[in-house]
Amino acid sequence: MSDALSYRPRAGEIPTSPGVYRFRDETGRVLYVGKANNLRARLANYFAPLSSLHERTRRMVTTATSVEWTVVGTEVEALQLEWTWINEFDPPFNVKFKDDKSYPYLAVTLADEAPRALVTRTTGIRGARYFGPYPKIWAVHETIELMLKAFPIRTCNNSNYKRAMQSGKPCFAGQIGRCFGPCSGTVSIEEHRVIVNEFVSFMGSQDRKLINKLTAEMKDAAVTQDYEVAAKRRDQVRALNAVLEKSAVVLRDSVDIDLFAIDQDELAAAVQLFIVRGGRIRGVRGWMVDKELDLSTGDLIDSIMLTAYGSGVVPPREIVVPELPDDAEALETWLAGIGKRKVRLVAAQRGEKAALLATATQNAKHALMLYKTRRSSDFVARSKALEDIQEALEMPSAPLRMECYDVSHLSGTNIVASMVVFEDGLPRTDEYRRFSIPESTDDTDSIYRTLTRRLAYLVPDEETVPEGESDASLKRKKFRYQPNLLIVDGGQPQVAAAARALRESGVTGIQLCGIAKRLEEIWLPDSDYPVILPRNSDALFLIQRIRDEAHRFAIVHQRSRRKRDITSVLGEIPGLGPARVKVLLQHFGSVARLKEAPAEAIADVRGIGPVLAEAIHHHLRA
């Protein structure tokens, strides 16, 4: 029955991060908004067999035609975003925030003679200022505990306050150190009001200026050896920092911004727009950009602004972007003409907006990954890519089996090569191979040596695997499978070296090409001009993917060899075992620093005495 839900995403596509998800119907209306500490685990519950779902849940998932999600940093942020969107979209399948299903708030009763901080689930208290909602009741109490360290204000109820003020005796909460209002006998009503205003101002603005002021006072008190005041300011700073960390999604109430995040590769870019009004995220919009040209981030921002506001959408006074384009001033003028007011472009570097930009960028990265994964796994797109490659390279048939080679080295040492295999447009990791090259003059020579060794395994007629043959023999048989297309990472020189190896091997029926990374050009043997594939084509996307996979595989092998070689060199020294080698590398950070270190510095390392240090120093210098 669950197969009927055609919009179900693959499990690997859904992140395991905290976030908020939305089910939509065919008209785009939001049917349900939910939050999760682990999006993948939560959404899996909705795509269980329909017969096992509650009737209401089953009706919702069958009415919906799509599901989308937004990743945030913490569960608290997920709650705040969920609460905002439930009020914004009024989804028909959501439980309203009322009765025992409502969320708790932190409220400050500003209309009272001596305002107090309290936990409440109602929003109708006259003259009260509300902060929240919070995910759990303990989260509100934790925030109050932290804030009272910085701003000691009243917490007792009204009856205890009146009794204490009439009798002149501290209220019960004040006697046990839980209330700091006028009823505790420690401050006057006027002094208490000043502290309350500071409390509300900080909770509403989340401004770090107060933290900086308290930090300066702490340092001044420490200089004058007033350690009691210094300790008090230290505790206040810690408390305020902890409160800031718990409300990264919610900005100041006066903040109205559009925030754009971008993640891109050579062919595509993912854009995430966070619409912030009144300090809260009111909406999220995301889209993909296919890039015909290799655009800089600044140029891409220009086109994004046109897309977002070109249809007459009024921009806010401030727009946050990853970096300012070169024509930022002209772009601000254009935006101001649309909104009939001054608009400012800002590149957030630090602070609360930069933190929100980091969250939006995380969503953009996931959106790009999801786009590439779905594009690679789409059978129609893969088939079209293989057909386009066949046509562009003038091959007799589609390249159902492709092999790509890349070379990696460290300043001419630890030379390795990689071979990755794609069949029907998908990677065959069980047939990947690594090559170690003892010596080579340059990359072209390395390519020639690698392909000479690989092509030696190819035979004109593929033999069947005899019954009972070993796994090693089976792998060797797989190594004899002949590819339709050989791809090398590089331009004309690398392709010429590969063509020489192919010609000398005597193997026929294999097409050869190279991909030059700078302009993403496809080079063929004995050709003066490259083949140019459209930048947004599935064919170029597939070739780039296999090239990037070969590069990754080569780098991983080269790094493992480098680490193994370093360990083996040090392991040749008598008395220096794996444990001491690990300690040495952790202490100095690299073999290069260890080589430069004098014997006395080596002897200072834990477990290394003067005699062994001298032996290490002599061995590495020799």
Q: What is the pLDDT of residues 54-105, one digit of tens each?
A: 666 777 888 889 999 999 887 767 767 877 787 778 787 775 433 334 556 7
More reliable by pLDDT, 282 or 24: 24
Question: What's the domain count of the chain?
Answer: 5
Question: Tell me, what CATH number does 335's domain have?
Answer: 3.30.420.10
Band of pLDDT at residue 298, cut at 50, 70 and 90: confident
Q: Has residue 369 got a pLDDT over 60?
A: yes
> Helix (H, G, I), strand (E, B), or coil: what is residue 384?
helix
Kindly report the number of other CB atoms within 10 A of residue 455's CB atom: 19
Q: Has residue 580 got a pLDDT over 60?
A: yes
What average pLDDT does the segment 186-201 reach? 85
Does residue 143 lie within any of the structural domains?
yes
307 with 159, same domain? no
Q: What is the pLDDT of residues 458-474, one digit of tens each?
A: 755 544 444 444 455 54
Among 32, 61, 94, residue at a domain's last position: 94
**9-15: long-range contacts at Cβ-Cβ below 8 A with a sequence spacing of 24 or more?**
9/43, 9/67, 10/373, 10/377, 11/40, 11/44, 12/373, 13/370, 13/373, 13/374, 14/39, 14/40, 14/43, 14/69, 15/39, 15/40, 15/69, 15/71, 15/366
State the pLDDT at residue 464: 44
504 with 409, same domain? yes
For 156-209, the three-class secondary structure string (H helix, E strand, C coil) is CCHHHHHHHHHHCCCCHHHHCCCCCCHHHCCCCHHHHHHHHHHHHHHHHHCCCH
State the pLDDT at residue 335: 84
Percent residues over pLDDT 70 in the chain: 79
| CA-closest candidate to residue 356, choices 258, 278, 240 | 258
| In 254-379, beta strands by DSSP E | 257-264, 268-277, 280-290, 318-321, 344-347
Question: Of the given ranges (266-270, 438-442, 469-473, 581-585), which has the lowest mean pLDDT?
Answer: 469-473
Q: What is the pLDDT of residues 144-182, one digit of tens each?
A: 776 777 778 888 888 888 888 888 888 888 888 778 888
Q: Is residue 71 a contact partner of residue 359, using CB atoms and an 8 Å limit?
A: yes
Q: Is residue 285 a contact partner of residue 275, using CB atoms and an 8 Å limit?
A: yes
Question: Tell me, what CATH number does 591's domain have?
Answer: 1.10.150.20
Q: What is the pLDDT of residues 415-466, one digit of tens each?
A: 788 899 998 888 888 888 888 887 777 888 888 888 888 888 875 554 444 4
More reliable by pLDDT, 255 or 321: 321
370 with 392, same domain? no
Strand bridging mode 426-427 / 413-423: antiparallel
State the pLDDT at residue 282: 64
State the pLDDT at residue 136: 56
State the pLDDT at residue 165: 87
Q: What is the pLDDT of residues 107-119, one digit of tens each?
A: 888 888 889 888 8
Q: Has residue 319 got a pLDDT over 90?
A: yes
State the pLDDT at residue 98: 33
Does residue 172 lie within any of the structural domains?
yes
Among 38, 68, 94, residue at a domain's last position: 94
200 with 135, same domain? yes
280 with 355, same domain? yes
404 with 527, same domain? yes
516 with 597, same domain? no
Q: Is residue 248 a contact partner of residue 162, using CB atoms and an 8 Å limit?
A: no
Surface-to-core class of residue 470, CB atoms within 10 Å of its CB (0-12 exposed, 13-18 middle, 19+ buried): exposed
67 with 85, same domain? yes
Q: Which range scores top for mean pLDDT: 269-273, 379-383, 530-534? A: 269-273
State the pLDDT at residue 143: 67
State the pLDDT at residue 414: 65
State the pLDDT at residue 1: 40
Q: Which helix (H) or strand (E) holds 354?
A: helix 352-377
Does residue 247 lie within any of the structural domains?
no
State the pLDDT at residue 394: 86
Does residue 501 lie within any of the structural domains?
yes
Question: Tell me, what CATH number does 27's domain have?
Answer: 3.40.1440.10
Band of pLDDT at residue 293, cut at 50, 70 and 90: very low
CA–CA distance, 449 with 451 (Å, rounded to integer): 6
More reliable by pLDDT, 463 or 30: 30
State the pLDDT at residue 100: 38
Q: Has residue 551 got a pLDDT over 60?
A: yes
Does residue 231 lie within any of the structural domains?
no
360 with 412, same domain? no
- How distant is the alpha carbon of residue 284 from its chain centre? 17
Q: Is residue 318 a contact partner of residue 343, using CB atoms and an 8 Å limit?
A: yes
More reliable by pLDDT, 32 or 470: 32
CA–CA distance, 395 with 486 (Å, rounded to integer): 12
Q: What is the pLDDT of residues 556-578, one digit of tens each?
A: 776 666 555 555 566 667 777 77
More reliable by pLDDT, 137 or 584: 584
Residues 6+ apart with CB under 8 A from 599: 610, 613, 614, 616, 617
State the pLDDT at residue 68: 92
Tell me the two tokens of residue 574.
Answer: 């008598």
State the pLDDT at residue 592: 65
Domain containing 362: what range? 257-375
Q: Which range scores top for mean pLDDT: 16-25, 312-321, 337-346, 547-556? A: 16-25
Q: Which range scores top for mean pLDDT: 1-15, 243-257, 593-607? A: 593-607
More reliable by pLDDT, 205 or 620: 620
442 with 552, same domain? yes
Rg value, the chain, Cα? 33
Q: What is the pLDDT of residues 390-405, one digit of tens each?
A: 888 888 888 888 999 9
More reliable by pLDDT, 79 or 547: 547
Query: What DSSP state is assigned to residue 510?
Result: -
Whole-number average pLDDT of the chain:
78
State the pLDDT at residue 328: 82
Question: Tell me, what CATH number does 494's domain have?
Answer: 3.30.420.340
Band of pLDDT at residue 589, cut at 50, 70 and 90: low
Band of pLDDT at residue 197, cut at 50, 70 and 90: confident
State the pLDDT at residue 403: 92
Band of pLDDT at residue 21, cut at 50, 70 and 90: very high
CA–CA distance, 203 with 197 (Å, rounded to integer): 10
Q: Has residue 584 got a pLDDT over 90?
A: no
405 with 460, same domain? yes
Does residue 222 lie within any of the structural domains?
no
Q: CA angle, corner 458, sides to 457 and 461, nearest 5? A: 130
Q: What is the pLDDT of residues 483-496, one digit of tens each?
A: 889 999 888 888 89
State the pLDDT at residue 465: 42
Does residue 616 lie within any of the structural domains?
yes
Q: What is the pLDDT of residues 207-247, one digit of tens each?
A: 566 777 778 888 888 888 887 878 877 877 777 666 555 54
Q: Has residue 249 got a pLDDT over 50?
A: no
391 with 529, same domain? yes
Among 534, 560, 586, residue at a domain's last position: 560
Does residue 244 lie within any of the structural domains?
no
CA–CA distance, 255 with 207 (Å, rounded to integer): 12
